[in-house]
Amino acid sequence: MTNKNKLGDIINSNNISIIQENIREQNNIYSITNIVNPSKEKAVEIATKHKLEPFFKTGYNIREDGEFGPYSVPVLAKAEELFPEQYKFNFTITDSRFIGIKDREELLDRMRHSQTAIAIKMNNAVKLLGDCPDPHQPKIFNSKNNEAFLTPEPLAIPQFSFKCHIYIKNIQYKIKQFDLKLVDKPASFECMFSNEHQINHPIIIYINVNLKTNQCNFSFNIREYKEKDSKSLMQYIKFLLATNNEGFTLKAKDRNFEYISDSVNFLDNERIKYLNHLTSTLNKIFKIEKYFSIKCETSFFYTKEEYAQIDKMYNMLLQVKQKLKLKDISATLTKRGDNSLVNLNSDESINISIKEEGVQYNLLNTVIKINKIETTYFNVIYEDEALIREFYDSGSTELNIRIKFKPKVGKYIKYSLKITL
């Protein structure tokens, strides 16, 4: 087997040589250059006759499907100039983006501007040499309903951008510094703007402008990785609640452009109730993050255990800053060995101090380390005298009881809580 740069002629010889050829995008093309039996010259002559002689002749190749068959070979230098190779297709568009578009010009325009492969179903295809059908059609053209793709020629997207603010109707609320750029042109009369390049902005918006109808479609979402940031998530939720059933105005800072949305109620009552509850939870997380100098991983949804952890840490901060009103407290008294406790009368008061050292909490995938927590309850008395007497009089050397204490004076227990980080 030898490589050759041009197609060989069919001649008579006692040898058979199959030579690989490469024609345009075809691979594994072969040409018979020698015929063994001279007595078959007439058959060879008939088999190699071509409809466009003397410009073309018939060659033979092994196709990609493994079958052996004829194909058209240009002979004269002007053959390809006089009979340029071209193709005529009949196909059905199966790409969901374009189904339903009846206007032919709009369809072609959108296909051209799509800049991505377009799925089609091939109904019929003909290879032409000039205006004449090639007598040796590629076998793939003989199969109907072939799946294929059309690839539009590349189009450059114009450089265009503007900065804008969003104002909510009837509410003193706005979001600043959206930097919108032209990111797509689905059609010559349609433009898509977005701030997707503003990676530090928590909200990503898309505005599709139709120049024919002068209408816009607006959509927005929170960036996926920003959902874990409490401040960004709060900003997005406030934007959701503010725009629901209110509409908004988008104003360009340095261009004559203003987009006014309709009032759309896109949140039902249950969703609004949940988002308000989530806002309350995020406010608690803010205070926890600030006090302990940490960053928690926030989310749209929390488990019951996570809500309990958030409330526990938040209530701890309330005790430090605001002092909760405690009507009573409960504590476990432990008797070990022969140690005797000071006998209490029902009218005697005590101060109870509880110390915890080396405490660690895991809150929303964040470890909070506390060196010491010290809580002191002042001037309290126990409620159940019989139970406390049983505790002292028991001969057991190991005993635990749960007992409740209440303020001796007033309705609420006075206490102090100190956290050492």
pLDDT of residue 342: 46
Instruction: At 252, list the tokens.
Output: 């360009």
Is the pLDDT higher at 335 or at 55?
A: 55
Res. 310: pLDDT tops 90: yes
Res. 251: pLDDT tops 80: yes
Q: Pick the most confident of 24-38, 78-92, 286-300.
A: 286-300
pLDDT of residue 406: 84
Mean pLDDT computed over 34-62: 66
Which tens digit of pLDDT belongs to each residue from 88-144?
Answer: 888 888 888 888 888 888 888 888 888 788 888 888 888 899 999 998 887 766 555
The CA-to-CA distance between both ends of the chain, in Å, stands at: 83
Band (pLDDT 50/70/90 cuts) for residue 9 is: very low
Which tens digit of pLDDT belongs to each residue from 155-189?
Answer: 887 888 888 888 887 777 778 788 999 988 888 88
Q: What mean pLDDT is reported for the chain?
A: 78
% helix / strand / coil in the chain, to the nearest 5?
25, 40, 40
Poorest-confidence range of 25-34, 196-205, 218-227, 232-241? 25-34
Distances (CA, A) of 275 to 201, 263, 281, 354, 365: 21, 19, 10, 38, 22
Q: pTM value?
A: 0.61
Domain definitions of the chain by residue range: 1-82, 84-155, 161-267, 322-420
Is the pLDDT higher at 61 or at 140?
A: 61
Strand segments (E) across 94-150: 118-129, 132-133, 146-150
Q: Is the backbone peptide bond immediately before 54 cis, with ω within 30 degrees of 0?
A: yes
The candidate with the shortest Cα–Cα distance to 58, out of 18, 9, 20, is 9
Res. 401: pLDDT tops 60: yes
- Give the contacts of 342 (CB within 8 A, at least 6 positions apart): none
